Chain A
């Protein structure tokens, strides 16, 4: 395993010329490259079909790239998927867990298949408390949980895995403001612990608030990528709309010239 050193950190997640063309010919991802270092939150913004979820699926090796590589801790995911997945935790949109299981049972199961077998029941309780799930709900079945509570349970699973990298697919979609706020605080904590976090989102405000690097994707390409510090004072919404509009106009021009 080769770890690419940056001046201040270790690269945990890296996309190199990552391309995905589906069997029906649709180009979902077009030679994208980026990296996420330890202690960094990388937010991918974009509309539906921009390629955000495809990128995450490629990192999880749920699909194979047509070209390029996705690397986790330097391990190429489609070449050594099992080894790569040991180094990453995943929290999906609408965190879908086993509804008939309690939070503790879900946490226990996913921790074990994540390779963490030494945890005790007390450890699991501590993790659930840490993400803001009170002891009174630990034995409740997940199907009785609200979306925000399920999201916290998903984060608890990611924490329990103790992986150096975390992938988040639309983690704040549908959360109420309080739940969204709590969630972002959790992300900040994880970042401070040195986790590399790749997050896809529609939510430009929360992305700006928490991310270290913000990328805007459209039609499978990264059309803008800037450190959050460079965005200070800028209206990200206007920037987003500007890039998206520009891209759309360019596409229209291309189509017209054809």
Chain B
């Protein structure tokens, strides 16, 4: 019985004009988005390699350690082809120096603002927005449409249990919609392989997980559509209800969650944070100058030269204080942002569509935490870099600026020595952050649970309403 009903549903879907439209739109969009994603990825790889070479060249041309500044670059990941997430919003490189705070800079959207207006269309977007809409449009009249056509009465003139009928409706719609999804996905994977995009085992596993999430989301929207079809006797009413619910779930709730979280748990803006940091740095620099002047006046009165050791000591003390303050401020902001993010995501997760979006980004490694992961890795690299510079400095004798104060000659500033060309092989290498699939999966369990729960509730609701549904 169940098989017969599912077979009929699939056949009805395959023969309907809705299927042809869905298949055509999904295929076109998925293949086009993956093709564009591949091109973007290849361009990003080229840009990345060029940037590395330029950085090496810059290092080669830097005459001394005092002026040395390097950059850590964010390596393009093939998963960005499918889920771009925040990769166009966060920067592509982090300046590494002894005193600058490591922050990702140079985002694509900051440079090409036109793309920030309508964002990119990627696989995750197609599933979250396009396929979810098709899923709900496929099923909004699953029951009410058959009632209006009169076939429901004929079906239930037979010994058909209602639970079996409804389950078959859902299963049939699911299978019918899986076809327009699976075929273009397989073709797009083929396209990725032909294009020579390097995919390792981890990428394939991530892609499998992404596929699973996508099926979970459209299962939810199928169940939701079926629920609406059991709520009303007229498909025209279901037709009004379903897209309204879709707009709320896909468009409103995710944005409303973020907006509400921003109001409830505000985080200082980047400019405010920079202002706080710069204010302290300026204050501390002034203090340093005062301390230096004081020391100079003390030694000047004794007629001796201000030792470099004293200067370096005061300097490093000031630098350390500034760095500690930066770290404190950053930590405070990061904590506030974490609270805001948790709140925003918790509110947004009311919608399974938002849960899917978050989960897809996490699985692909293009989630909002990407920025923090890179900046943390850059902080580690910066520390190694600082130690490297200190070590090299101590190996090469006194460095920096020598300031001599004399009543006869006045103030004399000179640089005791040039460090010469820097051996790049000795520079600490930047290790990009690792974000394993197991970590990603652990983070998306809540999102999977939201989608599963949503599907179960929608099906349960549909079942409860259908038990009392007037099939005449």
A256 located at the interface, meaning its Cβ lies under 8 Å from any Cβ of chain B in the complex? no
Q: What residues on B are CB-neighbors of A99 within 8 Å?
A: 149
Interface string of A112-130 (1 = CB under 8 A from B): 1111000000000000000
Q: What residues on A are CB-neighbors of B156 within 8 Å?
A: 60, 62
Does the CB pair A98–B151 fall under 8 Å?
yes
Does the CB pair A92–B12 fall under 8 Å?
no
Stretch at the interface among A31-39, A81-89, A220-228, A231-239: A81-89
Residue from A101, A105, A110 within 8 A of B158 (CB atoms): A110
Contact flag A96-B4 (CB < 8 Å), given A63-B472, A105-B11: no
Interface string of A67-102 (1 = CB under 8 A from B): 000000000000001110110111010111111110
Does the CB pair B149–A114 fall under 8 Å?
no
Does the CB pair B12–A98 fall under 8 Å?
yes
Does the CB pair A97–B154 fall under 8 Å?
yes
B387 located at the interface, meaning its Cβ lies under 8 Å from any Cβ of chain A in the complex? no
Residue from B4, B149, B153, B161 within 8 A of A112 (CB atoms): B4
Contact flag A113-B5 (CB < 8 Å), given A82-B161, A100-B15, A101-B12: yes
Does the CB pair B154–A90 fall under 8 Å?
yes
Residues 4-18 of B contacting A (Cβ, < 8 Å):
4-5, 8, 11-12, 15-16
Residue from A82, A105, A110 within 8 A of B154 (CB atoms): A110
State the CA gap A99–B148 with chains docked (Å): 13
Contact flag A115-B159 (CB < 8 Å), given A62-B471, A63-B472, A98-B151: yes
Number of A residues near B (Cβ < 8 Å) is: 30
Does the CB pair A101–B157 fall under 8 Å?
no
State the CA gap A95–B150 with chains docked (Å): 8
State the CA gap A95–B11 with chains docked (Å): 20
Does the CB pair B155–A113 fall under 8 Å?
yes
What's the minimum C-beta distance from B411 to chain A, rounded to whole angstroms? 94
Interface string of B289-305 (1 = CB under 8 A from A): 00000000000000000
State the CA gap A115–B158 with chains docked (Å): 9
Q: What residues on B are CB-neighbors of A105 within 8 Å?
A: 11
State the CA gap A161–B157 with chains docked (Å): 11
Does the CB pair A101–B151 fall under 8 Å?
no
Q: What residues on A are CB-neighbors of B151 within 8 Å?
A: 96-98
Contact flag A85-B157 (CB < 8 Å), given A62-B471, A113-B4, A113-B5: yes
Residue from A63, A82, A94 within 8 A of B159 (CB atoms): A82
What's the minimum C-beta distance from A100 to chain B, rounded to whole angstroms? 4
* B interface, size bucket: 20 to 34
Q: What residues on A are CB-neighbors of B471 within 8 Å?
A: 62
State the CA gap A63–B150 with chains docked (Å): 16
Interface string of B271-297 (1 = CB under 8 A from A): 000000000000000000000000000
Does the CB pair B159–A96 fall under 8 Å?
no
Does the CB pair B159–A85 fall under 8 Å?
yes
Residue of A nearest to B13 (CB): A100
Does the CB pair B472–A57 fall under 8 Å?
yes
Most buried by A among B12, B149, B156, B157: B157
Contact flag A100-B472 (CB < 8 Å), given A62-B153, A88-B157: no
Residue of B nearest to A96 (CB): B150
What's the minimum C-beta distance from B23 to chain A, rounded to whole angstroms? 16
Q: What residues on A are CB-neighbors of B421 within 8 Å?
A: none
What's the minimum C-beta distance from A60 to chain B, rounded to whole angstroms? 5
What's the minimum C-beta distance from B10 to chain A, rounded to whole angstroms? 12
Does the CB pair B11–A114 fall under 8 Å?
no
State the CA gap A95–B151 with chains docked (Å): 8
Does the CB pair B1–A113 fall under 8 Å?
yes
Does the CB pair B154–A100 fall under 8 Å?
no
Residue of A nearest to B8 (CB): A109
B205 located at the interface, meaning its Cβ lies under 8 Å from any Cβ of chain A in the complex? no
State the CA gap A86–B1 with chains docked (Å): 13
Residue of A nearest to B1 (CB): A113
Contact flag A85-B158 (CB < 8 Å), given A63-B472, A105-B11, A109-B4: yes
State the CA gap A97–B149 with chains docked (Å): 8
Does the CB pair A96–B160 fall under 8 Å?
no
Does the CB pair A86–B157 fall under 8 Å?
no
Residue of B nearest to A54 (CB): B472
Interface string of B148-188 (1 = CB under 8 A from A): 01110111111111000000000000000000000000000
Q: Point out residues on A near B: beta carbons under 8 Å.
A: 57, 60, 62-63, 81-83, 85-86, 88-90, 92, 94-101, 105, 109-110, 112-115, 161, 167
- List, sorted by A's number, 15 A–B pairs whose CB atoms are closer than 8 Å: A60-B153, A62-B156, A82-B159, A89-B157, A92-B150, A97-B154, A98-B8, A98-B151, A100-B16, A101-B12, A113-B4, A113-B155, A113-B159, A113-B160, A161-B158
If A57-B472, A82-B161, A95-B154 are given as contacts, then 17 extra A-B residue pairs at C-beta distance below 8 Å, sorted by A number, are A62-B470, A62-B471, A81-B159, A88-B157, A89-B157, A97-B151, A97-B154, A98-B12, A98-B151, A99-B149, A101-B12, A101-B15, A109-B4, A109-B8, A112-B1, A113-B4, A113-B159
